[in-house]
Amino acid sequence: MVPPIDRYGSDVLSGDWRAPKRGRSVPTPAERDLVVEEVETGWVGAVVRVEKAGGMHVVHLEDRRGRTKAFPLGPGFLVNGAPVTLTPPTASATAALADARRAASRTASGSVAVHDARAKVASGSRIYVEGRHDAELVEKVWGDDLRVEGVVVELMDGVDDLAGIIAEFQPGRGRRLGVLVDHLLPGTKEARIVEQARALPGLAQHVKILGHPYVDVWQSVRPERLGRQQWPIIPRGTSWKHGICAELGWPHASQADIANAWKRILGTVRSYADLEPTLLASVEELIDFVTEPSA
């Protein structure tokens, strides 16, 4: 039997017929970086902070141009097109924000951050490192500090002629030189080269040469950042960087592969805490040496 046709459809008064087309407003904590739209003005921005002003909560929204505008916390906002009522952020979100602010007050090296400070004109003193990877690591962790101090890091492309490099720099009053050497261990070629350079007459006051024990600066990154307990041991006769990439299962057929491997390693470094103490001690001592006021 064919059911009768309902000419009038379902009951128009059934269900929540008073609900707005976009749905009812949902309480949503105004947590940092939440992107919202203020309905009346059309202002779209990310939450940067919530504060009390004049006895009421106010949310500050920063648009994509970096402009900030304040609105009363409460209804009248959209998130992804759906209406929300912004509420004060939860205690956990507030704690996370406080942690983020504390982190922002420190540089990657752990120093107190100097905000809105222009980099100083470069001083006569310098820090020399062996290669590009060394320089990029120093820049990532200590770059903010060095710019404040006006100290430039330069590449030597190896230390075979370290004595000549130092002589060419002409260190002296107002021109201190700090040198960071890879694989500086007793009995190594690097140790002999450094010993000869340290013997140059009249330079002890103006030149400091320090190093780290690692075959390459890659090893100064804590292996835990790569999910390992220790760096692989590469047998003699094998290119160390190629061997490392092979052990880690990374491409290593070309120089571009090696460059990408370093970018991957460098990308795991967030701060000084991700580096081995031996490198930290040497770099910090070199920075202190070249920035000492009497220099």
Instruction: Give the domains, in start order, of the chain with CATH numbers.
Output: 26-101 (2.30.30), 126-221+269-291 (3.40.50)
Residues lower than pLDDT 70 in the chain: 1-23, 54, 91-122, 294-295
| pLDDT of amino acid 121 | 47
- Tell me, yes or no, if the pTM score tops 0.75: no
Closest CA to 151 of 170, 167, 135: 135
Residue type, 1: M
| pLDDT of amino acid 51 | 87
Neighbouring residues of 81: CB distance < 8 A, sequence distance ≥ 6: 22
| pLDDT of amino acid 201 | 87
Quote the CA–CA distance of 262 and 133 in Å, as a whole number. Answer: 8
Provide the pairing of β-strand 44-53 with 56-62.
antiparallel
Q: What is the pLDDT of residues 147-188, one digit of tens each?
A: 888 899 999 988 999 999 999 999 998 899 999 999 999 999
Closest CA to 47 of 79, 76, 18: 79
Closest CA to 276 of 209, 200, 220, 206: 220
Q: What is the CA radius of gyration of the chain?
A: 30
CA atoms within 13 A on the CB side of 285: 14
Please, are residues 76 and 38 in contact by the beta-carbon 8 Å criterion?
yes
